[in-house]
Amino acid sequence: MTAPPPPPTSTLVRPFTVSISDAEIDDLKQRLARTRWPDPETVGDWSQGVRLQNARSLVDYWERGYDWRRLESELNRFPQFLTEIDGLDIHFVHVRSKNPRAMPLILTHGWPGSIVEFLKLIGPLTDPVPFGGDAADSFDVVVPSLPGFGFSQKPTETGWTVSRIASAWAELMRRLGYTRWAAQGGDWGAVVTTALGAMQPEGLLGIHLNTQFAFPAQIPDALSPEQRHAVETLAVYTGDLGGSNHLQGTKPETVGFALADSPAGQAAWIYEKFQSKTDNRGLAEDALSRDDMLDAISLYWFTNSAASSARIYWENRSGTFAGPKLTLPVAVTVFPKDIPRLPRSWIEDTYSNLIHYGEAAKGGHFAALEQPEILVSEIRTGLRSLRS
């Protein structure tokens, strides 16, 4: 006797609304009020991690001043959906432009990012004219949450590599009816977008990256000043700034216990990244508002996704900054305080069909949050030639 065939995977795209209960918000505030603080650092800088006084200030505002309902309302102003792909419910924002000639664009976030970092981009990309742009630069925008992040389902099995995510994104765009589209990303979003570029699924016209994976597989002995800076910033990234990457790449579940139980711990875990990777004058708050940072932190808290999001490091722990050679059209924007920052020579060597190279005047690793206007302008310019 043979087993019956499995039921077909649903391709239904279902509406989704963000709704966090009052009880969950009350629980967060109670936990914050009961925080047991560590002893202060023994140095006068951030070299041991987040400074106690800065953490207390941020957490105090999270408890007493921050308004989650504001972000919830902002998210719910945009059409959101769930759809099952490869056995997993994927959450995404989908905003169609009023311009029928708009280019479909899928935007992918990284860690500790989320869909919230793109909220300020959606209006200018889908409806450029009110923001000083040209209607000819309109995009339909699709913003999915990575598996295990935000309101996407958490994988219960291994194997969700960036290549598998890229395949899911290609299916998502096909399911939405798009036959010609582009992709953009930074951080892990750039890894997924690079995987799409290597895969070249049907319909993908080109990509824009604000994080580039273009180190040579073998670093040459003789380096230009720009190449040496790239090597030095990569050493900082993997060294002093690499603690969370290493822990999440080796023991994501262990750190997940602490972050799932302590909102102050979750806040510090992400706050340190904003401190160390933004274009600031000494404090993350120079580059980002407390609300911007707590929007990101709160989404991780309320979705209890510390461990599930960390596994993207574990699933892809063999990856390096020496990405694949790409032949499809690639546009890049280099932000001055990104870490690592790659030289143009290596970018040109890796992307043989480089259709745009831009250097932003300011900004760091979190381009969409730090400099949304610059990133919007660069996406428009970088992908414009693909419209013909």
Burial of 301 (0-12, 13-18, 19+ CB in 10 A): buried
Residue 286 annotated in active site: no
Question: Is 349 an annotated catalytic residue?
Answer: no
Check if the beta carbon of residue 107 is closer than 8 Å to that of residue 209: no
State the first-to-last Cα distance of the chain, in angstroms, to the nearest integer: 57
Domains in the chain, CATH or no CATH each: 66-386 (3.40.50.1820)
Residue in 187, 279, 292, 295 annotated catalytic: 187
C-alpha–C-alpha distance, residues 292 and 299, integer Å: 11
Q: Model confidence over 182-197: pLDDT tens digits? A: 999 999 999 999 999 9
What are 322's two structure tokens? 């020496």
Catalytic residue selected from 91, 109, 208, 365: 365
- Distance, in Å, from the CA atom of 284 to the CA atom of 277, rounded to the nearest integer, reads 8
CB 168 within 8 A of CB 86: yes
Active site residue 291: no
DSSP 3-state assignment of 13?
strand
Q: What gap in Å lies between CA 363 and CA 375, rounded to an integer?
A: 10
> Tell me, what's the pLDDT at 10?
58
- Kind of pairing between the strands at 80-85 and 88-95: antiparallel
**The pTM is what?**
0.95
> H helices within the chain, ranges in order?
22-33, 52-64, 68-76, 119-126, 162-175, 188-199, 225-238, 243-250, 252-261, 263-277, 290-302, 306-315, 344-350, 367-370, 372-383
Could you tell me if residue 86 is left (phi over 0), alpha (psi between -120 and 50 degrees) or otherwise beta? left
CA-to-CA distance for 182 and 197, rounded, in angstroms? Answer: 10
pLDDT, mean of each 10-residue run, the chain (388 residues): 49 94 98 98 97 98 98 98 98 97 98 97 98 97 98 98 98 98 98 98 98 92 92 90 92 97 98 97 97 98 98 93 94 96 95 98 97 98 95
Instruction: Look up residue 310 and give its amino acid.
Output: A
The tokens describing 321, both together, are 């900054």
Complete DSSP assignment for 212-254: -----SS--SS--HHHHHHHHHHHHHHTTT-HHHHHHHH-HHH
The total of other beta-carbon atoms located within 10 Å of residue 144's CB is 28
CA-closest candidate to residue 122, choices 93, 144, 146: 93
Q: Which one is catalytic: 271, 300, 313, 351?
A: 313
